[in-house]
Chain A
Amino acid sequence: MQQCNKIEAQTMSGAKIFMKCLEEEGVEYIFGIPGGVILPIYNEFYKNETTTHILTKHEQGAVHAAEGYAKSSGKVGVVIATSGPGATNTVTGLADAYYDSVPIVVFTGNVSTSALGNDAFQEADIVSITRACTKYNYIVRDIKDLASIIKEAFYIAQTGRPGPVLVDLPKDILVSTCEYNYSEDVNLLGYTPEIETNDKDVAKIFKELTEAEKPLILCGGGVVISDSFDELTILSEKNNIPIVSTLMGLGGFPASHKHFAGFSGMHGNSWSNLAIYNCDLLLILGSRLSDRQTGSVSGYCPNAKIIHVDIDPISLNKNLQSDISVQGDINQTLNILLDLSDKNPLSEEKKSARSKWIDEINNNKNEGLKYRIHTTNESLKPSEVIEKVYELSDPEAFIITEVGQHQMWSAQYYNKNNPRRFITSGGLGTMGFGLPAALGVQLAHPDKQVIVFAGDGSIQMNIQELATANTYNLPIKIFIINNGYLGMVRQWQHLMYDRYSESKIFSPDYIALSKAYGIGGFTVKGRGDLHILEEAMNYPGPALINCTVEEEDDVYPWVPAGKGNKEMLMEAKK
């Protein structure tokens, strides 16, 4: 249960209570847009000094910015939107946060309780609309419940498997008054997220881990969320175990570590998919094992004993039947495993067997890397730009991506060695996520370099947030990998239908656009312009870098739908 300071009861308006609650929760930033029914709260922002309001240009942008803030800092992201369209505009962001387990709390206004259900102006039944895409949602019908509901919302969002919580605030609740008291404990009978990991279960896992000759750990998003970067690194080093990562797990293990065996899945690194196929024990930490990760499950890890640890019991044995499944917190589990490793050091015989196993993975890596060599007389490849940007970026930079081909290349070339450095929309695959998310990341980490990889399709889905970058002078650098297509759609159409339909897209003049938004603009048209990337990276404010690349380059490796990950295609048919 959370503790908070006792405060003497005072009578105040709902809007003031709202502000007090944010203060109690230590909310630094709230992202949103004002509107009719939510004005009593905005009137309080005028005088408020503890919470800074960030005015975005679209409510979807506000939710993604809060997600970026939450994913990069581990704190709860907070959003405020008005009723009706303001509220419905948050739905995509909520669904995105629900899939990727991001702790955010979204407050929406609504018409007065007496008018609910009467089709009033800008009314939307947002609680019903978002029931399927939130961890939990509330409508406050009595001002006496306001403070306790806000407390519960923050508690639910960040405990157990984190997720989005929506709180709907009718206008009369904000203007009526009540005694303010924030000292209650959270009392949710049916919600017990604090699970003690069972020592005996972990001992079983450890036994299997020590016996295996070719063990492999799959680092999922749960490793990142539970801040287990250090624990996983030590466990891997002590027991000589290689690590592969899911898309959401990138940032959970140092990428240049000699035990890091890449990112696995439909467009994963070839050596990573092969490692999963060849291992004799797969320890899955905090992953839902989505279809994009496993491909056909029968061909995923046919020779391995499967151990799955996740805080969410629903993820266990859902897509992949495991031999041992343990519901538990990843951090706790890893700490117990570390204790056991200290007491039972690995035998020399096993050490050398595992070194051979790591060599086998590295050989596959060297084979896989051969496909990355670019011929210099061809046009500029998208992956070449991404690789170059990685090379030039600060070692501690945050990498944020939109969704599509560029996202997969960004994951394949990921090279950062600090936690929480790869911020992307995994489960929902929301185009338009990257630019606004980067704003939240930059606010949470004002001194760090923030890099966005975007496609020409994705960037145009929330491009209005360039104005927000300018308003708050957030020096994010947006690299548009511009191939003139909805690239991933084009790639699939090419393979499955052999013709393109509605995937060729128009782009505005990005230099003129960056001028219009008052930010830096750069153009990279060919290999000879690559030096401009460095110049752009050192630009003092936000900047848009339009990189024109080969139009019809595909992402490889590529596991065709329904196939096992071993059956990946390594290059286009000639």
Chain B
Amino acid sequence: MNTNNETSQIEKQENTLCLFIENKLGAIERVIGTFTLRGYSIENLICTKSKLSQLFKMKITLNCTDKELENLVKILHNQIHVLEIKLMMEENPSKEIKTSKVG
């Protein structure tokens, strides 16, 4: 039934997202803008060109709740140049979970 969206004092934890985005003008700014608007502070950010020259890889670490992470992944997936998002497992950084677009 109804639950309020107000973030209760749920524990935040460190999460790392790995994004593959198209290497298009303004694509990185759009991704970063998603974080700033909602007040998520980025702990760590690495951007590199991937092996495929049209793709860019972004690795972003931030502190957030599970609900915030779920929302963020949805919002990022909605961005036109975001192709893939992976969640890196904290206990085993080599392990990844691929998320997919809803629907």
Contact = CB atoms under 8 A, between A and B. Distances in A.
A218 to B, nearest CB: 14
A7 interface: no
B53 to A, nearest CB: 14
A321 B2 CA distance: 6
B102 interface: yes
Contacts of B74: 313-314
A364 to B, nearest CB: 22
A103 B21 CA distance: 25
Contacts of B26: 127, 131, 137
Nearest to B83: A190
A306 to B, nearest CB: 7
A320 B2 contact: yes
Nearest to B67: A317
Interface string A315-353: 010111101000110000000000000000000000000
A190 B33 contact: no
A131 B36 CA distance: 13
B103 A195 contact: yes
B29 A128 contact: yes
Interface stretch (A293-301, A383-391, A467-475): A293-301
A300 B79 contact: no
Interface in B8-64: 21-22, 25-26, 29-30, 33, 37
B3 interface: yes
B33 A131 contact: yes
B103 A321 contact: no
Given A127-B26, A131-B26, A328-B103, A136 B80 contact: yes
Given A128-B29, A190-B22, A327-B103, A297 B78 contact: no
Interface string B72-103: 00110111111100000000000000000111
A497 interface: no
Contacts of A195: 103
A313 B103 contact: yes
Contacts of B82: 190
Contacts of A190: 21-22, 79-83
Interface residues of A, number: 34
A219 to B, nearest CB: 20
A46 interface: no
Interface in A178-201: 188-192, 195, 198
B83 A297 contact: no
Give the interface size class of chain B: 20 to 34
Contacts of A302: 1-2
A167 to B, nearest CB: 12
A321 B33 CA distance: 26
Contacts of B7: none
Nearest to A128: B29
A388 to B, nearest CB: 40
A314 B75 contact: yes
Contacts of B25: 138-139, 141
A28 interface: no
A297 B79 CA distance: 28
Nearest to A192: B101
A156 B79 CA distance: 12
A321 B6 CA distance: 12
A87 to B, nearest CB: 16
A227 interface: no
A196 B77 CA distance: 17
A517 to B, nearest CB: 41
A120 interface: no
Contacts of A323: 1
A297 to B, nearest CB: 5
Contacts of A321: 1-3
A551 interface: no
Contacts of B101: 192, 313
Which of B30, B71, B80 gathers the greatest number of chain A CB atoms within 10 Å?
A: B80
A312 interface: yes
22 contacts: A127-B26, A136-B80, A138-B25, A156-B80, A189-B22, A189-B81, A190-B22, A198-B103, A297-B2, A297-B3, A297-B4, A301-B2, A302-B2, A312-B78, A313-B74, A313-B78, A313-B101, A316-B102, A319-B5, A320-B5, A321-B1, A327-B103
